[in-house]
Structures are given as C-alpha cells and as structure tokens.
Structure 1
Amino acid sequence: MIVRKRSLSRRTLLRGAGAAVALPLLDAMLPAMTADAATAASDSALRRLAYVYIPMGFHAAQWTPKGENLDDLPSSLQPLAPVKDHLTVVTGMDLQNAYPGSHATSNAAFLSAARAKLTESTDYYLGTTVDQIAARKIGRSTALPSLELAMDTMSTVGQCDNGYACVYQNNLSWSSPTTPLPSEAHPRLVFEMLFGEGGSPQQRRAQRRSRASLLDSVSDEMRRLQRQLGGSDRQRVEGYLDSLREVERRIQHAEASAADHPLPDLDRPVGVPESYAAHARLMFDLQALAFQADITRVTTFQLARETSNRTYPEIGVPDPHHPVTHHGNRPEKLAKVAKINQFHVSLFAEFLQKLQSIPEGNGTLLDHSLLMYGSGMGNPDAHDHTNLPVLVAGGAAGRMQGGRHLRFDTPTPLANLHLTLLNKVGVPLETFADSTGRIDKLFDPVRV
C-alpha cells in the first residue's frame, strides 16, 4: 500500500493471506475523492438506509406517546430514551395492500407496500421492495449493494398462512416482483460475506483453521497504514479494528460453545449464539461494521418471523410469541406483548447508540443514516394493518426532526414514508406503490 500526501482511496483495503478488510471513512481519504464522492461523504449527506422488522404488531397503549414530543416515553419505548433526540415515532400508518389480514402479507407488504399474489406454489408475485430500489442508487458503489439479515436460521417451505406460500413470510427483501432475496442468520457467514473470501463450507472451514484471526492476517498492512495516518485517523482505525476483533471473538466463542454442547439442538448451525439477545446484538454489530467500512449502505433485518413461537424467558415471557399475540384483550396477555415489544426495542436502541458512538466527519454514523423500525401488522389479535408501530431514527445530517411523535389522524399509506426516505437518500422517485405524497414534515427544511 502506498500513501501519498495523506490521500487514500475510499476503497482502500487491508490485505493479508486470504483476507481483505475494508476501512472506515478517514480524513486521509477526502483529498482522493471525486467531487461526487466528497459530496456523499459530507456532513449534509444521508448515506445509508436500514430497515428492521418486528413481527405480529404491538400493544398500542404501551407504545403510543400521549403528546407530540417524547418527553414521557411509554413503557415499550423507554429503552430509546438515550437516543430520543434522534427518533421520531410515527403513528397512523397503514398498509391497505396487506389485506385481507394475514401474517404472510404483513411481512410481504412492509417494504413493498404491494399486494401478494394468493398462491401456495412457486408462481408467487409481489413487488420490488424499497431497500432494493435504494440499493440500485446508493449501493452501486459499495462491495455489497445491500445486506439481508434475519434471526431465524431455518426457513419453512410450501404453504404457511391462509393459502400464501412461505416465501412471503421468509423474505423481507425482493429485487423484483418474482425474486425474493433470502436472508442470512448465521453470524459467521455474514462475517465472511463482509470480510472474508467466502467459498464453499469446506473452504470456509479450512480458512478458519488456517488463521486464528482475520486481523492477524492483515497485521503488517495495518501497522504500515497506521504509521502514515494522522492522530485522529489512527484513533478511528484502532476503534474500528477493536470492534471488528470483538465481533470475531464473540463468533469464535459461540462456535466453541456449540461444538462443546451439540445437544439437544442438533439442527442449530455452529456459531449461532444460544441466547437470542446475544445473537441479535451480534447481527446488529455486524451491520454497524458494514456501515462503518462502507461495505454496504442498505440493510434489512428481520428480528423474528411472523407466526414465530420463540419464547423469551429472559424477560419473564416463557410463552410462545404467536399465541400471546392472540390476546383477546386479556390484560395478562397484553402485558406480555408489551414486554416483547420493549425487549425488541431495547436491542434496536443499543444499535442506535452504537451508531451514535462511531464518528464520521463532523457527525456520527447515526447522523448519516436513516433507520426505519416497525411491523406490517397493527393489532395482532385482529390481524389488521392499520395504525402500525413505526419508528424512524437517525437522519440528523438530513435535518430530521427528532424527539417527536408524528401522528396521522386518518390512515396514511406507509408507502408515503417509504417514498420520503428514498427521496432523502437521493433516490428521485415521484411515487412508490400506493403512495399519495411525501411526509415532508418529518424533516426540518430550515434547521442546520
């Protein structure tokens, strides 16, 4: 690697034996950028879109703020208090194309706002999802145009819900109406997708045996680079590599634990943490690393599948999730739904805090990202698609007004929000699906 006058390419990689590690945005890269790239990296640019999906709706009373600000967060949203200034709660959104109400259409319509074809076979048809529309524009200069993640390591096939093929529940992201994009739930495979050379399972096992750590294989290049960077860039690289090593350590620990305790879950892939929370945190951290290194600018993450029967004993909910959501307005079941909502939100809040802690330019990764969190279902007991739980976070570089509750008194297409976020990251669409306009009041045109 040759560094001249503190001028590095944004695509600079640290290379070692069978490995390549991308770097975060550094001051030393700015002189080497083209005018377009420099604009994209400026403090006024929104560079990333992330979508996080939760299944089976919410308990509205414990989610919805009473006023127009977030000074008094309801119980399900309390974990977001440290980042509430970067958060807008949006209520009154609906998905008309998800009707007739079902779990399959909740998942399928969330990012497409399209009506799923009723079929149990392979002639499924939906619509191109917003993440893939964004990826064609803001993802074309990154190593991965988009990254699709999930928490469930096994996908069902055939018919899953009221005559709908399982493909609708399994996949959030569709690159065309007939092309669903499968999600990856295994942290090791995601890590290698981002930082390793890939290959067959046998090749990947050989790669793991041949090196103790990804960073060990690029250590010589790392030391050479560090000697030629300024102080702030050195700290930035050191922090990024520390995070990378910590993620790798946790994956290796999970693999060792799974190898030592192979029973009773014989189908669990090696390297997936036993704890749901540990698994989710690891997947969120991998997204943060991917954003920091500019490996991708578009992600989708399914925190659980629709009709999931996962239990959450760690928060006092040993009952399967899906049956709990059929609450019949019984207080004890509603309380459990609210606890699950709060648990999922807490993991998202940690992710936001992680992004906020990573500097980029004069701001942070959170400032230069837009993140949408929510569900395609409102009241799970009714399987409706009105008054959806939706959060929008980040976006300070795009002048998003945080600390607010944005309430629509009449049902408003979720497609309006999708269109707005696409426009803010530089995708110049006039309409999307059943949109009726943009939600301009989500952003402040005056505040700098």
Structure 2
Amino acid sequence: MLNRRKVLQGIAASSGATFAASLTPKRLLASPTRKAVPKRIVFFMQNQGFDPKTCIPEGMKSSGSLANAKLPEPIGALEPYKDRLHIINGLHGIHTSPSHSAFFGALGGYRGSDGVPPSASTIDYELSKVLPQTLLPHLCVGMDSIENMKTKPTIATLSASGAGQPIFMHSNPNHLYQMLYGGISSGDIRLQHEARSSVLNQVEKLAATKGRSLPAPDQQRYGQYVQGFKEVNGLRTRLDTVADHLRKFAPTVDERYTKPEFETDWHDVLLDLGISALTSGITNTLTIGSGRGEIFGAWKGLGIDQQGHNLGHMDQPGNPIWIKIRQYNSRMLVRIMETLESVPEGSGTMMDNTLIVYTSNNADKQHTNGANWPFMLLGNFDGTIKTGCFTQLSGKRPINALYTTLLHAAGQNCERFNMDDKMAKKFDVGTGPLKEVLV
C-alpha cells in the first residue's frame, strides 16, 4: 500500500514533468478562427505485442489501397473508417531490446527495460511542445487490473520529458476527475477537491521553507520536487478560471467511478476523461497505456478470466481472447473518432485535425526482438498523413523514422528522432521522414 509520502512524491513527480508550461486561460480558449491549426494527437499503446496478422487484411502482401479489402476480425470495428486508416508493417525496434516491454523505449526509440530510466524524451512529449500549447500540454492515462490501478494510481513506464524525467500516467479516474474538474463539481467531489487543494498548498509552502536549509548540492534536486507542487497548484488555479467552459465537457460521474464491477468500468471512464480533456481544449496530446507499458493487464469485463503475463504467451491470430481485447481497443478508437467528429472546428471537425497512433509497447509479440513493429494511424492530421492504405516496409527503418515523420506532419522538420549518426549507421538505412506516410 502506498504511504502518504509516496503519494505526495508521485503527485510532485508527475506534475513537474507534465505541467511544464505556464499558460493562461486565453491559450485554452484560443479563437477557432486563428490561422494556426489546433492539431492534436493520441497515442494508444496496448501491451503484450501487436501481431500484424490481427490488422493486415488477408492476402495483402504489398502496399496498396484498403478500399476493396476487408479488415481482420480483431479490428473489424474500424471497417467503416478504412478511408481514415493507414496500416504500417515492416518498421523495426531491434535497438530498443523490447523482450517483455520496451517501456520508455517504445515511444522514445531507444533501449528500454524494466526499471531503467528514460534516456531521452519520448515522441508524445516532443509533439506536445510542437503543437499549439494548452493548459495541460500532455495527459497520460493507464489501464490495468482494478487491484493495480487502486494500489498504484500513478505509474511511469511509457512517456518522458527528458533523460531521467518520466511522466506519470493516471490510473484512478476519481483522482483524475478531481484534478481536471474538481473545481466545477459539487458535493463530495468538491469537498475532496478543496481538501486536497488545501493540503497541496500547505505542502508547497512547507517544502519551499524546508528546502532552504538543505546543503547547496541538494537544493536543486529538492527544488524540482517543490516545483512539482507549485505547478500542480497552478494548474488547478488556471482550470478554475475557465470553469464555465469546462462545465460543458465534464463527464457525468456514476457508479463506474465509485463502485466498478470490473476493471473495464475504470478503463471506460478513463477514456471518457481523456476524450473530454481533448474536446474541452485542456490538452492536445493524450497517451493511453492499456496494460500501462508492463506485462500485466486484465479485461474481466470482457469475459476474460486470464490476466497478466500469461496473455503474452498466447498466439494472437485466431485467439478468441485476443480478438476480444483487440475489438475492445478498436471500439475505443471509434469512440475517440466519433466524439471528435461531433465537435465543429474551423471549416470541419476536431477529427480533421487529429491523428491517433495505435501500436504496442512490445512490437509484434511478447518475448520479441523487435524486428517487426506494426502501427495503425487514424486520421490525416490536417491533410498531412496518407489514409485509406496499407504500407509494407522492408524492415530496415526503425520506429524512430515514423516518429520523425510525425514531427514533420506537426510542422517540425528534423532528419532523425533520438538516433545519432553512430546508431543510425547500424539501425537505419535512410534519413528523414517516411515518404510512404506523408502526403
């Protein structure tokens, strides 16, 4: 069980990494008529691997249109959205040494392992800096068994703002709701929000005072801890100033929050909170970790009794358990798209300016060497990404090349992402973005 000290450390660490920008409410409510397109991106990371046979239409061996193809059963929910889909096969992540999971390396494109801190920032964080800034530049949510989500409501395994700077993901929807919408709530939620706010304000003041008495070498490190509380308190204040706007987007709190029957009840409301953060403009970068980047995970609400590592030792193609999990993922992707499609933006909808990236933190399967790392992209990101197609690559370009491509699509030109010349000489046969992906 987490003690008070560990909980406070988690709050400080997550807020210090995530709430990096000091923004005013005007940035949240920027005019839709501005020239800058309010792009946003969603990363959905499923653990235990993503077998290409569960997403590539039968018979497709080479690149081509999806127009006349039928999507496999696991992703069948995406069939009506084929014209917005781009399936990519043949990237590699050998250099990330994934095995059970690449952890931070899955989004960072570098070597990752259990317990190893990030060696650089991850692509989701880098994109959050490039995209139009919001009150909360980057939100991470993590889905797991109900036991793990309760005992470890925050965990950092997938995203990072720099070397040794992990970004925590939120797994308890009650805590996340309080953080985002506690200021506009009533009843117990409002009382808990006010009590939590009072405690955090006191902790910030006390920590700042005590920090001055530390030896000089420790003051800088302790200062980062204090800054975490300062920034989370500042975020709460900024959210309170746009309360009227947020009331239009706050999800309804029901028994799924307080009395979940299965862990999938919490998965569903965490997704609702993530979507609401996008539609309200609180954030433009959402990272979803199904399985939280580790080897665990449970889906009893889908009628699946087995959980955790054992799921990774099952072949995915044709497996009824993995068909259910992937179908559940696909329905979640549809929920994101349909909600964003319902919100007008500029001359179209929010979905017109959004990209959803679906993959695994573990390449194609459990205990993999990362030689093949499939991806699915949904949306054209304001006309910058090709859609309605399947791309088969040679296996000689790394996942870093796709991340370079995403940066280009967001307006940030670069030749490589997190790969120096020495590494590129060994693991990448090309430079720059993937021409097969960009329009």
Report the TM-score when normalising by structure 2.
Answer: 0.69
Letter of the 2:119 partner, please give it.
Answer: L
Task: Tell me the equivalent position of 2:65.
Answer: 69
Does structure 2 retain, via aligned residues, the 8 Å contact 1:90–1:391? yes
Task: Tell me the equivalent position of 1:114.
Answer: 110
Report the TM-score when normalising by structure 1.
Answer: 0.68
- Is 422-431 or 275-284 further displaced after alignment? 275-284
Does structure 2 retain, via aligned residues, the 8 Å contact 1:54–1:302? yes
Q: CA 1:391 to 1:46, structure 2 compared with 1: closer, same or farther past 3 Å?
A: farther
Give 3-state SS (helix, strand or coil) of 1:171's partner.
strand
Tell me which of 301, 305, 320 is aligned to 1:318.
305
Tell me which of 96, 100, 110 is aligned to 1:103.
100
Does structure 2 retain, via aligned residues, the 8 Å contact 1:50–1:298? yes
Does structure 1 retain, via aligned residues, the 8 Å contact 2:178–2:193? no
Runs of 4+ in 1 over 6 A off after TM superposition: none
Does structure 1 retain, via aligned residues, the 8 Å contact 2:182–2:193? no
Task: Tell me the equivalent position of 1:432.
Answer: 417
Deviation at 1:391, TM superposition (A): 0.9
Deviation at 1:96, TM superposition (A): 1.9
Give 3-state SS (helix, strand or coil) of 2:86's partner.
strand
Deviation at 1:361, TM superposition (A): 1.2
Deviation at 1:411, TM superposition (A): 3.8
Task: Tell me the equivalent position of 2:438.
Answer: 443
Task: Tell me the equivalent position of 1:131.
Answer: 124
Number of residues of Structure 1 aligned to a counterpart in Structure 2: 354
**Deviations along 1:323-342, whole A, 9 cap, x unmatched?**
13213x5987x442333222
Deviation at 1:75, TM superposition (A): 1.1
Deviation at 1:112, TM superposition (A): 0.2
Q: Are 1:85 and 2:80 matched, yes or no?
A: no
Letter of the 1:47 partner, please give it.
Answer: K
Tell me which of 393, 404, 414 is aligned to 1:408.
393
What is the percent sequence identity of the aligned residues? 22
Does structure 1 retain, via aligned residues, the 8 Å contact 2:93–2:370? yes
Q: CA 1:114 to 1:206, structure 2 compared with 1: closer, same or farther past 3 Å?
A: closer
Gaps of 5+ in 2: 1-23, 197-239, 420-427
Letter of the 1:48 partner, please give it.
Answer: R
Task: Tell me the equivalent position of 2:265.
Answer: 278
Whole-Å separation in 2 of the counterparts to 1:64 and 1:76 = 10
Gaps of 5+ in 1: 1-9, 14-21, 31-37, 158-166, 210-217, 223-236, 259-272
Letter of the 1:147 partner, please give it.
Answer: L
Matches for 1:99-248 after TM superposition, within 5 Å: 99=97, 101-104=98-101, 106-116=102-112, 124-138=117-131, 141-152=133-144, 154=148, 170-197=156-183, 205=192, 207=194, 243-244=249-250, 247=251
CA root-mean-square deviation:
3.8
Letter of the 1:364 partner, please give it.
Answer: T
Give 3-state SS (helix, strand or coil) of 2:79's partner.
helix
Whole-Å separation in 1 of the counterparts to 2:275 and 2:337 = 9
Letter of the 1:113 partner, please give it.
Answer: G
Does structure 2 retain, via aligned residues, the 8 Å contact 1:113–1:433? yes
**Deviations along 1:21-53, whole A, 9 cap, x unmatched?**
x65x666xx3xxxxxxx121xxxx361122111
Tell me which of 280, 305, 326 is aligned to 2:292.
305
Deviation at 1:355, TM superposition (A): 1.5
Does structure 2 retain, via aligned residues, the 8 Å contact 1:57–1:375? yes
Task: Tell me the equivalent position of 2:406.
Answer: 421
Deviation at 1:370, TM superposition (A): 1.6
